Chain A
């Protein structure tokens, strides 16, 4: 199993009120799956993604990614895990504003300590794959929303991660650009057998995911497999 959650609970405290984000979720994702997470705001989608990505931790229950219990890993191990196994795609792109499209994609490879020549080769290939070669030296503020999201996708995929976690990947994009982005992810899923988990409100996104989980109040209330 790529991801395995066992009776996971997560609460947030906001002032004096406590909000339950996850209320005992159990879930398993197999390799090469492309899974959509749907549900209203506050249903627990982002929290679920954060737990899978090791950037937040459950109050109760256990989260395994590739048979490893994330809660038992040190910061250094988690960072290495995120760097080598995971790719993150955010709704608001979260690119590094002082770096060009090329450098943003190159950054995760620098973290891995990859040699410069190999980095350049991989980044050029990824720029071609996401159709950004022409704007590779542009900084994020010189790119359109669609171009930025493609840089973000490039950055997430450049390390050839086994699991890609995307939170509202098309949330800030128009329908046409959103579709193009989804086509790109679908291709990678089919070609590289990369596992994708996509949290979304957009029915177009889940039209690309054979398995859809519907969340409400921190629980999976329905599952569709097409």
Chain B
């Protein structure tokens, strides 16, 4: 007759009360599993959209400053041995593609309106892989043979009043300080998901851009990997392989170092999750304290008898902590299982839940619940720890009862 088996029998003495307590824990843990799963999916979606909206997994430049002011002075940071670096990068098995890119500010004008835009120019054949989250909403994407053609983000097209087939004039300061202008045909309009990008972004093919800017190499190499998980490891490999072995200094940045918005969203969700977790656990703690305190009260005489026949105070504490442990274990397991079942039902039966556009986003999205093994483990452990902690006070109260008084208790 171990303390654990005695505790298990004790928690089912008052089945209805235990069932209510277990239900409270189960619903709390289920809610946490669902919310964890939702946050995980949302962050994953944002991560992939950030990476495939032009950021790539890793970015290589010749100076740290490029990442802050490079778009306004790309000429200062041009690679001198671009071909060699690209071929070395492409030799890495984790690397899917290396995309040379130049990004620059320009003025874009229609017959009536003009505005400042940010031009992202990369080889047209990489548009699909690197900009896969970009949705062409009118016309078509750039193709390899396109020259002096442009794809506008939806916000830019609306502001400037451009439509497919229009010719717009782009003006830019070239490498030697001169002003260059070119006529560009609008072939496509794209939605980028992020409103701030939708209002400013324009896409050109790299050849046109290099010709237009009068440059022969680019200031930025974007590396797309086979899987996002490889990011850290490949960054390390590149840093070690190229350190001091290229003519220019080389700075490698991972996507998350460059994605301020992603980090803000992650921080926001982490805080939200902690607040929700705290509130749910508070409710669970008080439910368990209530149950256990009632149990101690009802079993006052029994505690007195146990102590009279030689059980130490520690033994009483252990008994009630073990009861808390069982409640946490059963509530945690059922909560986690329910969370997984409900996640699967929502994902498979209802095709996720539609979430309206979050702040700063242009469009809503279909959210799924993607609870991970870590989510499940974390919430299960939380249930256990919280249940045992919540039992501490009632256990202490039980252990401190005066034996003679408790034997007289009616």
Contact = CB atoms under 8 A, between A and B. Distances in A.
B73 interface: no
Contact of B13 (A79, A97, A159): A97
A90 B407 contact: yes
The 6 closest A-B pairs by CB, nearest first: A83-B310, A94-B305, A56-B404, A55-B403, A98-B9, A79-B312
**A: interface residue count bin:** 20 to 34
A98 B13 CA distance: 8
**B: interface residue count bin:** 20 to 34
A80 interface: yes
A75 B313 contact: yes
Nearest to B406: A55
B276 interface: no
A98 B310 contact: no
17 contacts: A50-B403, A50-B404, A53-B308, A55-B307, A55-B308, A56-B402, A79-B307, A79-B312, A94-B302, A95-B305, A96-B305, A97-B302, A98-B6, A108-B309, A110-B1, A111-B315, A159-B310
A94 B1 contact: no
B305 A82 contact: no
Given A50-B404, A56-B402, A90-B407, A98 B308 contact: no
Contacts of B310: 79-80, 82-84, 86, 108, 111-112, 159
Among A94, A103, A106, A156, which residue has the most Cβ atoms of chain B within 10 A? Answer: A94
B143 interface: no
A103 B1 contact: yes
A107 interface: yes
Given A55-B308, A111-B309, A159-B310, 20 more contacts: A47-B404, A55-B304, A55-B404, A55-B407, A56-B404, A79-B311, A79-B313, A90-B305, A94-B407, A96-B302, A97-B13, A98-B10, A98-B13, A99-B6, A107-B1, A108-B309, A108-B310, A110-B1, A111-B310, A156-B309
Contact of A94 (B6, B13, B301): B301
Interface in A73-118: 75-76, 79-80, 82-84, 86, 88, 90, 92, 94-99, 103, 106-108, 110-112
Given A97-B13, A106-B1, A110-B1, A56 B403 contact: yes
Interface in A47-81: 47, 50, 53, 55-56, 75-76, 79-80
A155 interface: yes
Interface of A: 47, 50, 53, 55-56, 75-76, 79-80, 82-84, 86, 88, 90, 92, 94-99, 103, 106-108, 110-112, 155-156, 159
B9 A155 contact: no
Interface string B158-171: 00000000000000
Contacts of A86: 310
Contacts of B407: 50, 55, 90, 94
Nearest to B405: A56
B404 A111 contact: no
Contacts of B402: 56
Contacts of A92: 301
Given A79-B312, A103-B1, A106-B1, A96 B306 contact: yes
Contacts of A155: 309
Given A55-B407, A98-B9, A82 B308 contact: yes
A112 B311 CA distance: 10
A60 B391 CA distance: 37
Interface string B1-29: 10000100110010000000000000000
Given A56-B404, A94-B304, A82 B309 contact: yes
Nearest to A54: B403
A96 B407 CA distance: 13
Contacts of B307: 55, 79, 82
Interface string B390-410: 000000000000111001000
Contacts of B9: 98-99
A84 to B, nearest CB: 7
Contacts of B302: 94, 96-97
A83 B315 CA distance: 13
A112 B305 CA distance: 16
Among B9, B301, B315, B407, which residue has the most Cβ atoms of chain A within 10 A? Answer: B407
Contacts of B10: 98
A15 B313 CA distance: 28
Contacts of A159: 310
